[in-house]
Structure 1
Amino acid sequence: MDGAEPIRIGVLGAGAVGKLTAAALVSSGMSVRLLVRRQEQAASLRQNGLVLVNSDGKRLRFPVAVSADPVAEAVDLVMVTVKSIDTEQAARQVAAMPGTPCVLSLQNGLGNGETLAALLGPERVLLGVSTYGATAQSDYEVAARGSGELVVGGYLGCHPLADKLAAIFSKAGWNVRVSSDMQREVWKKALVNIGINPVTAIHRVPNGAILERPDLRQIAVAAVWEAGQVAQGLGVLSADEAAAGVERMLLVCRATAANRSSMLQDVEKGRRTEIGSLNGAVVRMADELSVATPVNRELVNRIRQIEAGNCDGAYCT
């Protein structure tokens, strides 16, 4: 694909992140196709358009093409925004698309890039880390939850599409930078989610409660510290970067105090969570490194109990 040619973009997954991303792309002048699983959602988006509710309450409506048959679409790049538990299925859908397009993973958790690279080839994979918050309000509406940063780069380091994607999102008003070490960036964000998501989901509290309650703060800090030790053992983060993960997690709690984490929202709606690609991934890697991670292991066990319906009351006992 010539660098001067426009990129044909598909967004696979129309949850909160997918809708927010698609709205940003359309606002920058891109032609975007939302690739969804449910015919009901496709019909709703066609009828109502894609509606973005800004932090000031203003509603913006964007026209967007929608398809419930991703395999039939010919695009140059697919932005994968599905949950980590659906990454392998998404990779197989992309592999079946005409020409096997490149993919940009805009997902939470560890291991998404590895799954996509294994099925599509590492040269086709880019990774993205976003701190832009969003909440899905309906099949066609998404509420923006403040500004943040988007970091993009190739799975193998540099990628010819990274700068072009940065320019596209910058045009939409997003704060974007390109990184040649996305494994490091993915881990830095994962440390934040490893501390916040399971603690808020288990105790059914917004992010700010981790700062207000010493018991929750202690658990979240310990989970991040253990994960940082694993990242060090893998050679992904330095000792200073791993240590900084704790402070970064607490800063995010402060900046998003009223927010309800994605894992909490999943638990409240009875959906499967991404615990396996966060704390669960830490435990698996720690076992290979012979590093003890008792706090992360306990958090995984409690979330699994909730998913299985074995917990009563506000949290597992």
Structure 2
Amino acid sequence: MNLAIYGAGSLGTILGAYITKKGYDIDLITRNESHIAGLKEKGAVIRGTINMVVPVKAITPNEMSKKYDIVFLLTKSTDNVNTVKSLIPYLTPNGVICTMQNGLPELLIAEIVGADRTYGCAIAWGATLIGNGVCELTSEPNSISFSLGSFSQNASREKIDTIKGILESMGTVEVEKNFIGARWSKLLINSAFSGVSTVMGCTFGEAAKNKESRRCIQRIIKECIDVARKAEIRIEPVQGKDITKLFDYNSKIKKFISFHLLPLAIRKHKLLKASMLQDIEKGKKTEVDEINGAVCRFGSKYNVPTPYNDMVVKIMHEIEAGTAKPGFENLDRFTNL
């Protein structure tokens, strides 16, 4: 079985190291030639909450020569049309794409390769690329989990079981019958913690500790829950925790409780630096339109106001354009919402 991780940045490199260590034959593919050189020279060097070095197979897209049974897609979703089309010649006749990207990428990918060849997986852990061939795992190893599924009614159970077995090389895998609900759970977390922490230029833990930014996180979570409810999306639990039950509120007491639960809920991921912030630091465009922007679009469709998500998108676009910078002073922009 030929496997590939296409987009082997921080997440893909660490996942690839775990899968390789378990004995699978998997290619780690990225356009970052310096990173490839580091992986070839020293192997995947993983630091942070774990420490290990794993020899891996690493190539650039130009070096791809074989057809794959499963491609785990971890590139930014902003250019998915071109990316997915470029992968089609490298899929076996029954080959599939399992997207592990942010947002709701499965719908577009399914339009290109077919719904039955499109699987999705929400990742509940974080990592940072800190050097060529060197990545930092920023989540506790016992908190690593995946939510796997498909929007297709004809998804192959055999293929799902195969993907599940591969991903269990690294962490717990939950196969979701309500996959849109699992995706929305990840979208909620990304919108709230990634969105706010990127605007502030800090880690998840720092964003949850500051009371003003925590208020923004709480409001974004509330907007995500309200939009999902109106869209008739049932939000799935994350690592056994019912997000709606914990963080939805319609009274001052419930709002008070949810506010004080937020630092506890994120404690195992407090060191996580959002991929959007990493992009900003590298001068790249972010996926804010696929994350907070997705909530805004659903809110507009179902007539649910999303002022806090709207503001995150607005500030992020200003940061990308160079007219604003990440920082705690951006919290003032949310004061009168």
Fold match by TM threshold 0.5: yes
Cα deviations by residue, 1:234-288 (Å, 9 ceiling, x for unpaired): 2112698645456586544332223322222222332211111111111112111
2:254 matched residue in structure 1: none
Task: Please list, as runs of the form range in 1=range in 2, the aligned pairs for 1:162-241 lying within 5 A after superposition.
Answer: 162-170=160-168, 172-237=169-234
Superposed counterparts of 1:19-98, under 5 Å? 19-53=13-47, 55-56=49-50, 58-69=51-62, 72-98=65-91
Structure-1-length-normalised TM-score: 0.88
Say if 1:65 and 1:309 are closer, same or farther in 2 by CA, change over 3 A. Answer: closer
Between 260-269 and 221-230, the greater mean CA deviation after superposition? 260-269
User: C-alpha displacement at 1:121, in angstroms?
Assistant: 0.5
Residue 65 of structure 1 and its aligned partner are, at CA, apart by: 4.2
Q: Could you tell me which amino acid in structure 1 is paired with residue 147 of structure 2?
A: V
Say if 1:194 and 1:222 are closer, same or farther in 2 by CA, change over 3 A: same
The residue identity in structure 2 corresponding to 1:212 is K
Does the CA-based 8 Å contact 2:100-2:123 persist in structure 1?
A: yes
Give the Cα–Cα distance (whole angstroms) in 2 for the partners of residues 26 and 76 of structure 1: 16
**What's the counterpart of residue 116 of structure 2?**
123
Q: Could you tell me whether the CA contact under 8 Å between 2:32 and 2:60 is conserved in 1?
A: no
Match of 1:137 in 2: 130
- CA displacement at 1:85 relative to structure 2: 1.4
* Counterpart AA for 1:134: A
Q: How many residues align?
A: 308
Q: Any gaps of 5 or more consecutive residues in structure 1? A: 1-6
Contact 1:50 1:64 in 2 (8 A): no
- Deviations along 1:151-174, whole A, 9 cap, x unmatched? 21223255331112222232x252
Q: Which amino acid aligns with 1:150?
A: F
Aligned to 1:3: none
The structural deviation recorded for 1:34 is 1.5
Query: How many angstroms apart in 1 are the aligned matches of 2:68 and 2:225?
Result: 38
Q: Comparing 22-31 with 173-182, which one deviates more in the overlay?
A: 173-182
Aligned equivalents of 1:102, 1:70: Cα separation in 2:
20
TM-score after normalising by structure 2: 0.83
Secondary structure, counterpart of 2:111 in structure 1: helix
Match of 1:257 among 267, 270, 274: 270
Instruction: Supply the distance in 1 between the matched residues of 2:89 and 2:223 (Cα, whole angstroms).
Output: 39
Q: Are the structure 2 counterparts of residues 9 and 208 from structure 1 closer, same or farther at C-alpha, using a change threshold of 3 Å?
A: same
Bigger CA drift: 185-194 or 210-219? Answer: 210-219
Matches within 5 A, 1:96-107: 96-99=89-92, 101-107=95-101
**What RMSD in Å do the two structures reach over aligned CA positions?**
2.4
Aligned partner letter, 1:114: L
**Sequence identity of aligned pairs in percent?**
22
List gaps (5 residues or longer) in structure 2.
237-241, 249-257
Q: Which moved more, 1:59-68 or 1:186-195?
A: 59-68
